[in-house]
Amino acid sequence: MPEQLSADIVVIGSGVCGSLSAHRLVSQGASVLILEAGPRVNRDQLVLNYRNGAFKGNWMDPYPFFPWAPSPNFHPKDNGYLVQAGPYPYPAEYVRIVGGTTWHWAAHCWRVLPNDMKIKTLYGVGRDWPITYDELEPFYYEAEVKMGVSGGPGTGSPRSKPYPMEPMPEPWAMRRIRERLAPGGYEVITNPQGRTSRPYDGRPACCGNNNCQPICPIDAQYTGGIAAATAEKAGAKLIPKAVVYRIEPDPQGRIAAVHYYDPNKNSTRVTGKAFILAANGIESPKLLLLSASDKYPNGLANSSDTVGRNLLDHPSSSLTFDADEELWLGRGEQSPSSIQKFRDGPFRSEHAAFRLDFTNISQVRTAAEELVKQGVYGPQLAQQIRYHAARQQNVKDVLEILPNPENRVTLSSQKDALGIPKPEVHYSMDDYVHKGMEVAREEYGKIAKLLGGTNLRYTPKGEYGNNQHICGTMAMGNDPKDSVVDGFGRTHDHSNLFIASTGVMPTVATVNSTLTAVALALRTAQHIHEAI
């Protein structure tokens, strides 16, 4: 007889969405069990892994790989876990460990714009959200307080209360960029960030380690690891190395249990009153599809046939150049400042909206590697490293791709070490994206000119980087025929199955998705609390 476990609320996934919804529910008196596929990790060990690592440009490198809970990794070569069906590459990265992928992130904590949630009505493209900005606003604030968000004016998103912390101190480089772009009509603002501008909730103030990705060494940056610890401290039970492989419905269509494997493939059944699927925008739809049966041949929560479809992220192009003055990126946090003016407007009926981001990542390593590649030796090498590290800057766009049912996550015929099918991704870019990229490219040129830019290196046309903001695959909507969950994150098909994930966002807007997903997850938790 296999072991059995039970709780009021069973949460699948211990990332920031799962853990903070668990925290909310356990604090309100429910018993909560969190099942996490990966193991616990130790922050200081991750920092050591980074320092001792051979691939410092690969932010997956410090994170160990577990065959029973594999994660995608593409350097030095594709490990084959996230199967690429094309036509466009979708090399998304995520980690499966206690706390999830916000162990490494830029910690941008944006709210969407109210107009982002009704782009179909306003601009005739994409799809509307089933809820309004005003309905989400209190949960945005709750998320900002829990995560410790610092921020200031100029984001374009209305607020009922000030940010919990004043904005991060503006690095000298960003100040110079702001000052020099102002005459060109560009307003550069300090980003809202899950980062401490002063001591907050037991976390120290950021001291500028410039290592937000892959790992903040001091917890100045909020992580899912902190979220999971918060949930456990409040009384949630967390089981690591519990790889959920099946969700079991009862004859009435409610969820009765979930089943997980340990690394040795011993199976355990877990029952509960309500279930929250919070295993990110790829693993969650994978699990719903995996749970197919005779009664549910397309998988669970999938009467609409949209589970896994409408995969969204933020493609990016960029321009790297040398400014005509010394900026010395690498002092302070990695991603401090951005331009908002292209995030909304009537043009959205024609081409994609975007935010423009300036990097503050130290350019020393990339400059050194490039110069060695060029064959620069002798005294010139150190001089030129200093020259480029002082002046090199990069501006990129974070651009909205529209939902397309053919962009999707499916089950691969390939299997992982436990015999579970790997996720397979199908992805493409359309003219809406390409046109937006053209507009961004023109802006890059103007920006570089205002900074006296030389040595301009545009990314090749049509080749876009990815931002690991996995959205859309379990979209919320009012119509059960074309969406997976309702506005509260409840699946249309199973009344006690909820989803807390970036995957429920029906559009991706122009901002990093974590804060919005957490706000939605907290709203879902509130709804569950009222329902049970």
Partner 1 sequence: MGASASVTHDGLAGSKRGQAIDNAERPQGTADFPDPVRRALLTSLLAASAASVIPPAFAAPPADAAQSAFLSASQTLTGQSSLDPEEASRLYNALIADDPRFADGVQALAKILGQSNIDLMQLQHVLDNENSPVATLPRKIVTAWYTGIVGEGEKARCITYETALMNVVVADKLQPPSYCYGAPGSWVEKPA
Active site (catalytic) residues: 469
**Least Å distance between CB 359 and partner 1?**
4
Element (H or E) spanning 58, and its range?
none
- Which of 23, 37, 35 minimizes the C-alpha distance to 235? 23
26: burial class by Cβ within 10 Å (0-12, 13-18, 19+)?
buried
> Least distance (Å) from partner 1 to the CB of residue 360?
7
293 or 454: CB nearest partner 1? 454
Of 122 and 381, which CB lies nearer to partner 1 in the complex structure? 381
Q: Which residue has the tokens 């009509």?
A: 185
Q: CA nearest 492: which of 296, 361, 234, 198?
A: 296
CB 295, min distance to partner 1, A? 39
Nearer to partner 1, 51 or 161 (CB): 51
Of residues 239 and 364, the one with the C-beta less far from partner 1: 364
Maximal C-alpha separation, the chain: 76
Nearer Cβ to partner 1 (24/388): 388
* Closer residue to partner 1 in complex, CB, 19/512: 512
Please tell me the distance from the alpha carbon of residue 103 to that of residue 100, in angstroms, as a whole number.
6
Residue 71: phi and psi, rounded to 5, are -125, 155
Residue 300 vs 353, nearer CB to partner 1: 353
Residues contacting 91, CB < 8 A, separation 6+? 72, 74, 78, 82, 84, 466
Min dist CB 94 to partner 1, Å, is 12
| Integer Cα distance of 328 and 10 in angstroms | 48
Strands lying side by side in the sheet with 454-458: 188-190, 337-339, 354-358, 392-399, 318-322, 454-458
3-state secondary structure (DSSP) of residue 182: helix
Shortest CB 431 distance to partner 1, Å: 14
Given a contact cutoff of 8 angstroms between Cβ atoms, the answer to whether 528 and 274 are in contact is yes
Three-state SS string across 509-525, please?
A: CCCCCHHHHHHHHHHHH
The DSSP-derived string for 402-436 is PP-TTSEEEEEEEE-TTSPEEEEEEE---HHHHHH
Six token digits for residue 214: 């892959």
